[in-house]
Structure formats: structure tokens, C-alpha cells
């Protein structure tokens, strides 16, 4: 809700805020009127996944006060809904500016509320936090990260006892508790008489985590035969810097090259425009190292090491980037092939994909007789399926088009450590057949058909933008397209109708045509944009993608 930002800012200047904060407010007011308004015109929203925003002073910024208030609300919820004498919460943080500071504030507030806190001794990946929550038997967890957002941002992700990010109804109930904290004076920043213990986690948790996730690998003989494969790895200044190279070393790979400038954990991300492995420019330095060293594969992870991007050599020896759909499909094919060869497949095994992820994964799974779950966008919904099937079925793997993938049930979020490990092992398995990963992908297309996907986002800012996005969705609902790229539409799914989809309500539309093409449309939940996901199948898929884009993007 918009507020009188000047009055709110004055309340900070008059209130019990530290002198440095007050000086920054005055400087902002004097030198950046637009930034001053944006910092105080509303409260930074604690959404169903937590906080994410620009760092700085003000109610609409990530700072020690907004983090403290969010943590007090979380503590209040935990104390109301969790029983026992030893209620535990795990905390981790990435390399972003102020992440360590925000993690310490989170730990102090939780402990001041009588909770037992486990915090990593230094930056660690999001998937290791997910693992630690279940390993410690904790009731909740907090990861301080803004994932792959630009350097100005930070965030605060909340996890629950199953190691997954919070979902309904827990998420909405926590939001209500956070919204009830209206002033920093309501926050227990300092320890009291019933202060809980704060313990650090470190090497022992790393060892347990690596041991468990690497137990999921499938082809030790192939790895041994091709230990000389050459990899370049970059953490893009983030948390994967230690664990990904260590995982590859333990798998026996002897040639892992680094990008030394990007091994530096730096929240300014000085060598990239965006620390996002989805962006080709983020891999530029790693590709240069690959060409210099004659490497076969490039691996890159984002700052909190839950997303992974890769590049491989094509038939002409040039490095080409795989997108998230290609990597997810290739790994699904490899893992299911090996599970079948090892006699591990039966009717209780399953894979999971999100609704905007390639249908190639479905085709691969169905060929192996494996059930496929289709869930809403967000890895927390994949984790929800895993939780629901505990004791009844086994999760093999799952992924989403936005470069997230996971294997097995140790971690309940996307995990770039196991994904990098599986890509490396898959490369050795393909090499046993005299093939590169690029050639393996071509073989998959030859068997299942050529699939091509593309994402286009339309940015529409401000109140008029919100109205325009709503109008686009309304028009598509009332007058859905009769055809896609010349082929008649045979199925329309409106995810606003949970009674029809069996999934939580979501403002997403999907259109399928007779030829096997699909268009998914959804407004972003965090940015002023509407996203169009185009998927085409067939030898002419590239041309059909362009036709679909022209049909929907006016």
C-alpha cells in the first residue's frame, strides 16, 4: 500500500534508528528525490517466498530493520506452530553484499526469541541449506540470497522442515505474521533471559552433503575411463566456488580449469553484467578459458549455486550453449537410461517438470514407463510432490526451464552441485559410446523428435502496465487462439481453475495445437512483465517458433 513517503521517512529520522541510517536518509532526500520516494512509499513486500529487493535505507529496501522485522514475524509463526523444547532453524547466506550481515541479524533475532539456531560459518549454497534443515531436524531455514538478480539486490528465502521453500498454507500464514510487525521496536534484536543457542555449521555438514549427493551418481566405470575429460568451471563470484570443484575431484575428474577472477566471492560481481548462467555474456570468460585450454565442457553456477548453465563442443569444435530445457532433457535421458540398465525402474518411480518446461522430458519419461508430474512454475512445487510421495514412490529427477535441476531426495530444491556432477558423469558415459554431449543431444532429438523452446518477456511498467498485462490475459481467456503456427488448437488449460487442473490457482494460460506445439502465458510474480513461453516440435520447429512469436508479440 502506498504511503506518505515523506512522513514515513521523517519517522525514521525522528525514531530510534542508528546515526548511519539517518545520514543516508538525509543524503538520499537531498540528492536523489526519485530514489527517496521509492525507498519509503511502501513497505517491501514479504511474499510467499520471502523478501527480495534493492538494498538501502527505507521501508521498501533490504536493510537490517526490514530483515529484522521479517525475522520477528517468522519467529512468531514458528513459536505458535512448532512444539517441543528445542525448536531449530538453519541459516545460510551467499556472496552478495550484506548477506553475512543480514544472516547474523536473522540468527540474533531468532535466538533472542528462544530458538536454537544453526548458521554456516561462511557462505554456502542454497541446496546445502535445504540439506542441512533435514539433517539437523530443523523446523525451518532461511537463505539470504537474491539468486541471480543484479548486484543491487538481496533477498531472504524461507524454508520449512521438509527442506523445501514454504508453500500454502504455511507461506500465507507466515506472511500474515510478518505483516503484523509494523515497527522495528517490535523486534527482539538483542538477546534476553530466554535466549536460544547459536551454533555454527561447517566442514562436517559439507562432508555429509557431498557424500550423500555423490552417492546418486551412476557410472563410476565410465568416469574412471574418461577422467581426462577437460572442464572449465566458474561460480560467477558465488557460493559454488569450493563445492563444485571438490565434487568433480571426488568423482575422479583430473582436469578442472578455473576462471581465477570469478573464483573471488564478490557481491559486486565485477566481471559480469549479470551473475546469471542463463545469460550468454556471463559465460564469456569461461568460454575463453575453454578455448585456451582445449576444454570439452563449461559449467557455470549462479551466486547461490542452485542454477547451472553449460556449454559443449559441437561437431565443428565450437562451444555452443545449452539452454535449461536441453540440459534437463539430456540429464533425464541419461539418468533414466542408467536406472533401467541397473534394474532400478518400476511403477513407483517418477520425474517432475514444471508446466512451462519442455514436453521433451515428458516424452522421454513415458518411453521409459516412468510417471511424469507437471507442476506450477517454481521448484518448491517439485519439492511438494516429493514430500507428498514419501513412502509411496521415489523421485528420480526433475527440472525447470530456468536452469534448475535436481536428482534424488536429499535436497528439496534445485541443486547445481549434483547437476554439475551429473553433467560431468553423463559426458564420460557418452564418451564410452564415442560421443560428445552435443552428439548425445542430437541422438535424443533423432529418437524423440526435435523440440525447440523460446521465452519472450514484455515489460510493462507502472499502473498502466499492470492494466495492460491484465487486459492481455483477459483477452486470451475470452478469445483464445484457434490455431498455433497454422495447426488447430486442440487443448486450452487455464490454471486459474484449480478444479480442472488439480493444481493451486495460478494466473497462467496454455494452448496446445495438433502438431504438438505449446504456448504458455503468465504474468511475472516479481517483475512488471508478462512472459510468453513458446515450444515447438518437428523438423521445422525453429521456423514455427518465429511464427508463434509473431502471432503473440504485437
Inter-residue contact 320 to 311 (CB < 8 Å): yes
Give the residue from 363, 352, 357 showing the smallest Cα distance to 402.
357
Tell me the sheet residues that pair with 492.
511
CA-based torsion, 317, 322, 326, 327: positive or negative: positive
Write the CA distances from 450 to 103, 372, 447, integer angstroms: 46, 20, 9
User: Do 351 and 397 touch, CB atoms closer than 8 A?
Assistant: yes
Distance between CA 444 and CA 436 in Å, rounded?
Answer: 13
Question: What's the topology of domain 451-552?
Answer: TATA-Binding Protein (3.30.310)
Which of 231, 214, 250, 439 lies closest to 330, judged by CA? 439
C-alpha cell of residue 396: 528420480
Kindly give the pairing relationship between strand 487-494 and strand 509-513.
antiparallel
Alpha-carbon span 117 to 200, nearest angstrom = 8
How crowded is residue 473: how many other Cβ atoms within 10 Å of its Cβ? 18
Query: Interhelix angle for 240-250 vs 416-432, to 10°?
Result: 30
The answer to whether residues 236 and 259 touch, using CB atoms and an 8 Å cutoff, is no
User: What's the full length of the chain, in residues?
Assistant: 554
Kind of pairing between the strands at 88-93 and 116-120: parallel
SS3 annotation, 444-469: HHHHHCCEEEEEEEEECCHHHHHHHH
Fold equal for 47-201 and 202-449: yes
- C-alpha 212/C-alpha 206 separation (Å) is 10
Quick one: pLDDT at residue 192?
Answer: 75
Beta-strand relationship, 394-400 and 404-407: antiparallel
Contacts of 83 (CB under 8 A, 6+ apart): none
d(CA 289, CA 294): 8
Q: N- to C-terminal Cα distance for the chain?
A: 32
* Domain positions in the chain: 1-42, 47-201, 202-449, 451-552
pLDDT tens digits for the chain (554 residues)? 456 899 999 999 999 999 999 999 999 999 999 999 999 998 998 887 889 999 999 999 999 999 999 999 999 999 999 988 899 999 999 999 999 999 999 999 999 999 999 999 999 999 999 999 999 999 999 999 999 888 999 999 999 999 999 998 999 999 999 999 999 999 999 887 778 999 999 999 999 999 999 999 999 999 999 999 999 999 999 999 999 999 999 999 999 999 999 999 999 999 999 999 999 999 999 999 999 999 999 999 999 999 999 999 999 999 999 999 999 999 999 999 999 999 999 999 999 999 999 999 999 999 999 999 999 999 999 999 999 999 999 999 999 999 999 999 999 999 999 999 999 999 999 999 999 999 999 999 999 999 999 999 998 877 778 889 999 999 999 999 999 999 999 999 999 999 999 999 999 999 999 999 999 999 986 667 899 999 999 999 999 999 999 999 98
Cα gap 363→273, rounded to integer Å: 36
- pLDDT computed for residue 49 by the predictor: 81
Q: State which fold the 47-201 domain adopts.
A: Alpha-D-Glucose-1,6-Bisphosphate; Chain A, domain 3 (3.40.120)
Positions marked active-site: 147
Burial category of 79 from C-beta neighbours within 10 Å (exposed 0-12, middle 13-18, buried 19 and up): middle
Contact 206, 243 (CB under 8 A): yes
351 bridge partner residues? 372, 397
pTM assigned to the model: 0.95
How many C-beta neighbours within 10 Å does residue 501 have? Answer: 18
Q: Write down the residue that cell numbers 547474523 correspond to.
A: 104
The CATH code for residues 202-449 is 3.40.120.10
Beta bridge partners of 197: none
Candidates 537, 528, 530, 532; CA nearest to 550 is 532
Which is nearest to 262 in space by CA: 254, 271, 253?
A: 271
Quote the CA–CA distance of 96 and 265 in Å, as a whole number: 8
Sheet holding 153-160, edge to edge: 50-54, 153-160, 140-144, 88-93, 116-120, 198-201
C-alpha cell at 525: 510474480
Q: Are 454 and 549 in contact (CB under 8 A)?
A: yes
Q: How many CA atoms lie within 13 A of 358 on its CB side?
A: 30
pLDDT at 3: 66
Amino acid at each position: 500500500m502506498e504511503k506518505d513517503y515523506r512522513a514515513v521517512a521523517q519517522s525514521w529520522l525522528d525514531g530510534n534508528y542508528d546515526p548511519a541510517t539517518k545520514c543516508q536518509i538525509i543524503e538520499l532526500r537531498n540528492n536523489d528525490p526519485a530514489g527517496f520516494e521509492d525507498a519509503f512509499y511502501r513497505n517491501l513486500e514479504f511474499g510467499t517466498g520471502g523478501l527480495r529487493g534493492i538494498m538501502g535505507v527505507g521501508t521498501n529496501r533490504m536493510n537490517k530493520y526490514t530483515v529484522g522485522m521479517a525475522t520477528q514475524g517468522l519467529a512468531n509463526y514458528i513459536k505458535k506452530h512448532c512444539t517441543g523444547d528445542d525448536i531449530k532453524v538453519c541459516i545460510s547466506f551467499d556472496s552478495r553484499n550484506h548477506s553475512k550481515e543480514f544472516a547474523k541479524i536473522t540468527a540474533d533475532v531468532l535466538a533472542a526469541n528462544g530458538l536454537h539456531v544453526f548458521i554456516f560459518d561462511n557462505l554456502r549454497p542454497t541446496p546445502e541449506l535445504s540439506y542441512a534443515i533435514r539433517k539437523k531436524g530443523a523446523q525451518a531455514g532461511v537463505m539470504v540470497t537474491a539468486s541471480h538478480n543484479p548486484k543491487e539486490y538481496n533477498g531472504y528465502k524461507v524454508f520449512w522442515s521438509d527442506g523445501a521453500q514454504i508453500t500454502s498454507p504455511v507461506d500465507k500464514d507466515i506472511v500474515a505474521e510478518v505483516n503484523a510487525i509494523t515497527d522495528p521496536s517490535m523486534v527482539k534484536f538483542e538477546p534476553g533471559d530466554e535466549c536460544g543457542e547459536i551454533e555454527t555449521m561447517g566442514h562436517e555438514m559439507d562432508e555429509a552433503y557431498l557424500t550423500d549427493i555423490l552417492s546418486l551418481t551412476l557410472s563410476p566405470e565410465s568416469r574412471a575411463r574418461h577422467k581426462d575429460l577437460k572442464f572449465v568451471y566458474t561460480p560467477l563470484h558465488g557460493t559454488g566456488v569450493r563445492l563444485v570443484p571438490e565434487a568433480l575431484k571426488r568423482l575422479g575428474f583430473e582436469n578442472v580449469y578455473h576462471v581465477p577472477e570469478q573464483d573471488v566471492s564478490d557481491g559486486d560481481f565485477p566481471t559480469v553484467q549479470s551473475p546469471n548462467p542463463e545469460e550468454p555474456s556471463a559465460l564469456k570468460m569461461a568460454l575463453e578459458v575453454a578455448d585456451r585450454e582445449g576444454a570439452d565442457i563449461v559449467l557455470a553456477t549462479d551466486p547461490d549455486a542452485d542454477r547451472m548453465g553449460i556449454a559443449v563442443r559441437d561437431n565443428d569444435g565450437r562451444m555452443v550453449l545449452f539452454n535449461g530445457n536441453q540440459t534437463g532433457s539430456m540429464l533425464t535421458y541419461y539418468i533414466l537410461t542408467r536406472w533401467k540398465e541397473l534394474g532400478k525402474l518400476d511403477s513407483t518411480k517418477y520425474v517432475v517438470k514444471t508446466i512451462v518446461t519442455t514436453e521433451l522430458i515428458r516424452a522421454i519419461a513415458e518411453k521409459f514407463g516412468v510417471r511424469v508430474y507437471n507442476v506450477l512454475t517454481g521448484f518448491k512445487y517439485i519439492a511438494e510432490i516429493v514430500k507428498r510421495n514419501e513412502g509411496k514412490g521415489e523421485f528420480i529427477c526433475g527440472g525447470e526451464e530456468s536452469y534448475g535441476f535436481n536428482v534424488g531426495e536429499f535436497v528439496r530444491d534445485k541443486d547445481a552441485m549434483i547437476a554439475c556432477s551429473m553433467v560431468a558423469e553423463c559426458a564420460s558415459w557418452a564418451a564410452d559410446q564415442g560421443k560428445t554431449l552435443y552428439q548425445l543431444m542430437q541422438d535424443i532429438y533423432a529418437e524423440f523428435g526435435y523440440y525447440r523452446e523460446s521465452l519472450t518477456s514484455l515489460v510493462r511498467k507502472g499502473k498502466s502496465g499492470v492494466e495492460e498485462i491484465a487486459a492481455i490475459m483477459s483477452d486470451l481467456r475470452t478469445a483464445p487462439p484457434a490455431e498455433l503456427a497454422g495447426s488447430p488448437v486442440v487443448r486450452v488449460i487455464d490454471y486459474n481453475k484449480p478444479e480442472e487442473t488439480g493444481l493451486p490457482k495460478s494466473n497462467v494460460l496454455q494452448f496446445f495445437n495438433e502438431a504438438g506445439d505449446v504456448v504458455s502465458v503468465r504474468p511475472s510474480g516479481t517483475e512488471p512483465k508478462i512472459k510468453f513461453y513458446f515450444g515447438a516440435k518437428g523438423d521445422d520447429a525453429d521456423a514455427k517458433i518465429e511464427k508463434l512469436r509473431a502471432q503473440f508479440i504485437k
